[in-house]
Structure 1
Amino acid sequence: MIGKQQNKQPDTNHQQVGEVPSPTSRHYKAKMWMRLWDGNPPGRVLFLLAAITAFFMAIPIIYVVWRSLFAGTDRWMRLLDSRIPQLIWNTMSLTVMVTLFAVFIGVSLAWIVNRTDLPGRKMWQWLLALPLVIPPYVGAVTYIIVFGPSGWVKRWWAEQEWLVTTFGEYSLNVYTFCGIFFVLTMFTFPYVFLIASASLRKMNRNFEEVARSQGMKTSQIFWKVNLPFLRPAIGAGAILIALYVLSDFGAIAMMRFTTFTAAIYYQMGSYDTVSATVLSVVLIGLTLIILWLESKTKKKQKYYQTTNTYKKPDTLPLGKWKWVSFAYVMLIFLFSVLLPIIVLVYWSIIGIEMGALDSRFWGFAWNSLKVSGMAALVCMMFALPVVYLRSRYPSVISQSIEKLSYAGYALPGVIVALGIIFVFNQYIPALYNTYFLVVIAFVIRFLPQAMQSTDASLSLISPRIDEAARSLGQPPWKVMIRVIIPSTLPGIFAGGALVFVSSIKELPATLLLRPPGFDTLAVRIWVETSEAVYHMAAPAALLIVLVSIIPLRYLLKKY
């Protein structure tokens, strides 16, 4: 009846005034989600892509740590009593020594080339970066060929009777700590050289003029003015070198020195995967300690150029030290570039004359191009969502996603391969023993390279461009496709090029994950060198070096 009061059920879908929201209510969850993103949450597609990428990148480290927890106390104690102490000593002593000497060489060369009147200084800026394109395991091969037990130097020495009479038989042994230390130092110092060179070119002359007006000499200005500004660059280069030495396998194995990466590989070869996970966890711990020390020291290295009147640094005359400096630069170039290239060209000519460039060789080259190209494409696709989420939607979640995405870059290829083997063998057997696992390993290892390059391009695009597109009614995914991707395309392609070249040189992950009969150029270098068939290994090594020159131009433009 009209006017008659009707009974109504309470509306449970709306929050009553003054009622405290339940933690399980939809309204409460939505409010907390908004608060996590400071009122600006990302779209579902973007968040899911970035989150899946981060989880995928963290799989190896999560699974390796998880498996090591079930290794058993007896196995842990046996390894701690026998192998682990010696491996820690070998690994850390090599890492520290290579880092210290590579930093010294890199900084000294950067100073001589960029701040003095060294003859041909512009040319040296390019030439001294070339060791980056020579994989250390290729460098190790060349030094074995020249200085090894049956190498060029020993044969020449035996032919010189006066040398044998005066000094005795040739006794240089490259298979020692000094041998692997020398090889890794010669092929890692450009990390510091490039970054320190960039800092030196950007230094303001005003600070030096003030110090000179106070009566300081050039040496005092270097220690008290230049070096403090160089410390961040030195730290960045040092951490790259240390992480590389921790993760290197090829050069270390070829020089018959045992560190954690070699020990893990040999444990996998003997099918003792549980011990391999234990060793992997210890190596991960060492890596985290180095990263923690680097982050602590970085906080204390804050030096700013506050003046707005920039002046280009002076070029200092070397005077009587000119030819001594030139000889020093030439000596480093000889051992890090000239000698390896001469050896590779020599054996490549012999190999070509003996028919090394046959269908098998081009098959190896095609396999390398295929897996490296696929890895580069995948990295270009998945780098942008992670970088865009962190840049445009800063929060604890986006920062955590970005850090997880960098997990694979700090891990050796052996550990990445170990995690992939466990996961795909047990849960996704359809892909096991296929070359797709090699591609996945490359993506996990080198996606951060694509992220860094993409981030550099994205940082040049104002967020207001995104906001303008959104204000016109475009959904986030259309903004990404129509606005962001075209604007960041150069950086995306540059990142893809870096991933491609890093992948084509990767050895341990390829060795462990390749299916039967699927060899790449890097694998053939390893196999042929192990059997001393250098004329077959040299063309593959030389091809890798030539291809690797492509992203070096990008590095030199960047730095």
Structure 2
Amino acid sequence: MKKHTDQFNKQNPHQKVEVPRASTLLDFFRKINFIVFEEKPPGGILFSIGALTSLLMVIPILYVLIQAARADQSKWARLLDGRIPELLWNTMSLTIMVTLSAVLLGVSLAWFVHRTDLPGRRFLKVLLSLPLVVPPYVGAVTYIIFLGPSGRLKNIWDAVGFLPAFPFNPYSFWGVVFVLTMFTYPYVYLITGSTLNRMNRNYEEVARSQGLSTWGVFFRVNLPFLRPAIGASAILVALYALSDFGAVAMLRYVTFTAAIYFQRAGFDTESASILSLVLVILTLLILYLESMSRRRTRFSQTPSGFKQPQRLALGKWRLLVTTYAYSIFILSVVVPVSVLVYWTIIGLGRGAIDTRFIGFAWNSLQLSTWVALFSMMLALPLVYLKGRYPSRVTRLINRLAYGGYALPGVIVALGFVFVFNNHIPLLYNTVFMLSLAFIVRFLPQAMQAADASLALVSPKIDEAARSLGHPPWKVMYKVTLPAILPGLLSGGALVFVSAIKELPATLMLRPPGFDTLAVRVYFEASEAIYHQAAPAALIIIGVSIFPLRFLINKY
């Protein structure tokens, strides 16, 4: 090589060629590798799977934003003049009130159950978390049946001549606030209760020695420690209220999600994309404010000398607090389930469980199963990349994978409409497109469970397998997968339940003739055919009970 190079240089004195040294090239690639991955590279196959999955998660959302930027200026002007301000007021007022109500309910119930001698507190610990298995749109249906203009309680109330007008109207702002609060407060209840159990009693004893009352100890000692838990749970409630479609559509309260769906149903995709962009901005703003609040307030406690929290005697408040706790359970679980059981019995007598109904159930079961399986398969490489090969790139891949989970289902569905309709028309209006949208929405649930399990597995096991010459992808499937399989399966169970309950994405993307249980609940309840809607809703609730154990154990 050197001989040919010298000969070339003699013949071409003005155009010399230098032979790069192997060590120089090696150092160059090592520097590139350090800049990109910071440490050892993850392997081509493993990295490709993770990168392609993260791109799949973010492309539909980016497409919505691009479509909004390209929309006609006249549509922007028309929406900004009247529609967007109205939707902003409806959406933000609802989100704020639901979040505040859920925080008040969740924190107070967690305090009474975990820190007082409330009668039956061991049972209430589980009972008060059960509203999580009731989708808010199902809860909205039950309260329409029970308290609506033609509801059973409303009719009894009106039959008594001397009573004033019936005080509750589900088709109102406060009706929507009530319904969403009843089925979202468990987020606050579970997370706050977990923090209360881990709080050191020493700080409370010091506060009491300084003369503080029970209320003083709560506001000066307990509440500062609870702020991170309250903030984390409040952001979950706020994002849910911001993105909910089923309950607000059932109760005829128009927010951004409902407006986006109806604009898409009217084939006005430009207006739908503009409204989606505003909703994305609202979502990012809420996430930013929450992250800023966490940075400004940090509290910690030392593990040494830990004492279990002491239970307080309710005394004269026992009856009032007991009535309060059990009333919330009755309103959020007993009433909805009782209404559904009543109408299911009527439906059985009228032949509601027929081959058509079985087809809806089979569609839901089949779709949710495939989504759960593929979510577990895709979650493993993403979590493995982040946990075993931490770098700027792998962290970016992991964050992109969470994009669909933080945004409403209508926006994810709208992105798939744009992508498949314009570029992959062969797969438009197919189960495949619907399944991909579900994976984008719920893959982070499988990732969270797998990540928690992977944190308990020592990296030395992987290093031992790598030292035997196995590539990273093979180590992941042969060594890591068996170790984290229980956690991965629990994440798959959460994905299954979320998929079987999902409503807006199914409404927007399902192929003709492919109806699920959630879709039938929506349409049958909208037509007031409650004896056909109730059995489907009851099945959804029954299936959702299984992963509740995972959530209770986690918190």
Fold in common (TM above 0.5): yes
After TM superposition, the structure 1 = structure 2 runs for residues 329-478 of structure 1, keeping only pairs within 5 Å, are 329-478=325-474
After TM superposition, the structure 1 = structure 2 runs for residues 143-542 of structure 1, keeping only pairs within 5 Å, are 143-163=143-163, 167=164, 170=166, 172-542=168-538
Residue 34 of structure 1 deviates from its aligned partner by 3.1
In the alignment, residue 56 of structure 2 is paired with which amino acid? F
In the alignment, residue 135 of structure 2 is paired with which amino acid? P
> CA deviation digits over 1:81-132, x for unaligned, max 9?
1100110111011001100110010000000000100001010010000000
Higher mean alpha-carbon deviation, 276-285 vs 438-447, is at 438-447
> CA deviation digits over 1:481-536, x for unaligned, max 9?
11100001011100000000001000000001111111000000001001100000
Residue 468 of structure 1 deviates from its aligned partner by 1.3
Q: For 1:227 and 1:172, how far apart are their aligned partners in 2? A: 33
Identity of aligned residues (%): 59
SS of equivalent residue, structure 1 residue 328: helix
> CA deviation digits over 1:433-479, x for unaligned, max 9?
11122211111111111110000000001111111111122211221
Q: Against the structure 1 CA distance between its residues 13 and 306, is the aligned structure 2 distance closer, same or farther, given a 3 Å change threshold?
A: farther
Q: For 1:5 and 1:428, how far apart are their aligned partners in 2? A: 53
Q: Against the structure 1 CA distance between its residues 180 and 62, is the aligned structure 2 distance closer, same or farther, given a 3 Å change threshold?
A: same
Alignment correspondent of 1:15 = 20
Alignment correspondent of 1:83 = 83
In the alignment, residue 259 of structure 1 is paired with which amino acid? T
Q: Against the structure 1 CA distance between its residues 137 and 7, is the aligned structure 2 distance closer, same or farther, given a 3 Å change threshold?
A: closer
SS of equivalent residue, structure 2 residue 375: helix
Alignment correspondent of 1:40 = 40
Q: For 1:382 and 1:419, how far apart are their aligned partners in 2? A: 20
Q: For 2:160 and 2:105, how far apart are their aligned partners in 1? A: 34
Q: Against the structure 1 CA distance between its residues 446 and 7, is the aligned structure 2 distance closer, same or farther, given a 3 Å change threshold?
A: closer
Q: For 1:302 and 1:5, how far apart are their aligned partners in 2? A: 67
**Structure 1 gaps, min length 5:** none
> CA deviation digits over 1:379-430, x for unaligned, max 9?
1001111111111111211111111100001111111110001101111122
TM norm structure 2:
0.96
Q: Against the structure 1 CA distance between its residues 329 and 12, is the aligned structure 2 distance closer, same or farther, given a 3 Å change threshold?
A: farther
After TM superposition, the structure 1 = structure 2 runs for residues 109-148 of structure 1, keeping only pairs within 5 Å, are 109-148=109-148
Count of residue pairs brought into register by the alignment: 547
Q: Against the structure 1 CA distance between its residues 516 and 217, is the aligned structure 2 distance closer, same or farther, given a 3 Å change threshold?
A: same
Residue 7 of structure 1 deviates from its aligned partner by 4.6
Q: For 2:158 and 2:554, how far apart are their aligned partners in 1? A: 48
Q: Against the structure 1 CA distance between its residues 467 and 94, is the aligned structure 2 distance closer, same or farther, given a 3 Å change threshold?
A: same
Report if the CA contact (8 A) 2:38-2:392 is conserved: no
**Structure 2 gaps, min length 5:** 10-15
Runs in 1 of length 4+ with deviation above 6 angstroms?
10-13
> CA deviation digits over 1:301-359, x for unaligned, max 9?
32111141211111111111111100110111111111101101100111111111111
Higher mean alpha-carbon deviation, 278-287 vs 149-158, is at 149-158
In the alignment, residue 347 of structure 2 is paired with which amino acid? G
Q: Against the structure 1 CA distance between its residues 175 and 474, is the aligned structure 2 distance closer, same or farther, given a 3 Å change threshold?
A: same
Higher mean alpha-carbon deviation, 180-189 vs 204-213, is at 204-213
SS of equivalent residue, structure 1 residue 320: helix
Q: For 1:71 and 1:147, how far apart are their aligned partners in 2? A: 43
In the alignment, residue 62 of structure 1 is paired with which amino acid? L
Alignment correspondent of 1:92 = 92
Q: For 1:172 and 1:261, how far apart are their aligned partners in 2? A: 25
In the alignment, residue 365 of structure 1 is paired with which amino acid? A
SS of equivalent residue, structure 1 residue 394: coil
SS of equivalent residue, structure 2 residue 547: helix
Q: For 1:449 and 1:91, how far apart are their aligned partners in 2? A: 26
TM norm structure 1:
0.95
Q: For 1:161 and 1:514, how far apart are their aligned partners in 2? A: 49
In the alignment, residue 45 of structure 2 is paired with which amino acid? V
In the alignment, residue 47 of structure 2 is paired with which amino acid? F
Q: Against the structure 1 CA distance between its residues 357 and 14, is the aligned structure 2 distance closer, same or farther, given a 3 Å change threshold?
A: farther
Q: For 2:412 and 2:208, how far apart are their aligned partners in 1? A: 52
SS of equivalent residue, structure 1 residue 316: coil
